[in-house]
Amino acid sequence: MTDIEIKTRSIYDELSPAEQKVAWYFLQNLGSVFDDPIAVLAEKSGVSQVMWVRFCKALGFSGLKDMKKNLFFQLSQQRAEVSAPSMDFLDTRTYSSVDGIISGIEAGSLEAIRSTAQIQDASVIEEVAAKIAAADTVRLFGVGASGLVANDLYYKLLRVDVNAVFCTDLHVQLTYITAAKPSDVAILFSNSGNTTEILELARAARERGACVVAVTKYGANQLSELADFVLPTSSPELQFRSGATSSRLAALFVVDVLFTTLCNKNYSTVAKPLAESYSQCSKHHA
């Protein structure tokens, strides 16, 4: 999958209904984007040429020609043909069997991890890991499914003796943000990047001078704008979800990459607490 396809999926919810129709056609008919002029694309998709131009601009291009050029370049850089199964709206697809459910969830999970890996910036991950290592306190924030991801990082940081705080109770999060200071790192998790409570916490962290790190979906959103560093995620969930599935796995992947980088860059410091925590926990293994 190209970066353009990934970004299309990530910004889908932010597009107008007409632009979403263009995005849907684009994702389902990638080949015809090269073959057809804008007039034909407009006719086939049932959307005006103006909407096609707006869609391209929403992706950061000047127009369809610019988008085609970049898409061609990205496809030419890939070693294998784009042949992944369609992942659109997997969460609400009507499956005919449990085997179909297994295959669908597997495809969505693998695609989320692969596309999230594609958009990572190693230098940003290294810098965030360094900030965590130097921080007085790492303050973690997340609600709902994002809270589960924050909790996973919290447990990992405890194992390497990093002073971290997290509680799933939002009111407790609102309490410990008040103690944030410039020597702290605040890591906020929100798939949409527009969760009201998380945005409030991000603003509070900035006001207190803490380093703000956002783990959120790829593309423009309010949380990204408030953050000093963004660790983006991508998943095939486009619109309707019965629950966070592949988006949660994408965020957990980012957490694993960040934590492993932290340990790798500070191994002499983390080796002892890692060994001690393993030894202590192993006493309780059956």
Condensed to tens digits (0 to 9), the pLDDT of residues 204-224 reads 999 999 999 999 998 889 999
256 versus 115: the higher-pLDDT residue is: 256
Domains of the chain, start order: 1-81 (1.10.10.10), 118-282 (3.40.50.10490)
Instruction: Please give the pLDDT value at position 281.
Output: 83
Q: Where are the alpha helices (DSSP H) in the chain?
A: 3-11, 17-28, 30-35, 38-45, 49-58, 64-77, 98-118, 122-134, 145-159, 170-176, 196-207, 222-226, 246-265, 267-282
For residue 83, what pLDDT is reported? 46
Task: Classify residue 166 as left (phi > 0), alpha (psi -120 to 50) or beta.
Answer: beta
Question: pTM to 2 decimals?
Answer: 0.72
Residues 33-50, mean pLDDT to the nearest whole number: 89
In this predicted structure, the answer to whether residue 79 has a pLDDT above a threshold of 70 is: no
**Chain segment 151-200, per-residue pLDDT in tens:** 999 999 999 999 999 999 999 999 999 999 999 999 999 999 999 999 99
Q: What is the pLDDT of residue 171?
A: 97
Does residue 41 register a pLDDT over 80? yes
Looking at residue 94, what is its pLDDT? Answer: 55
The answer on pLDDT for 118 being more than 50 is yes
Q: What is the pLDDT of residue 107?
A: 77
pLDDT at 84 over 70: no
pLDDT (0 to 100) of residue 90? 44
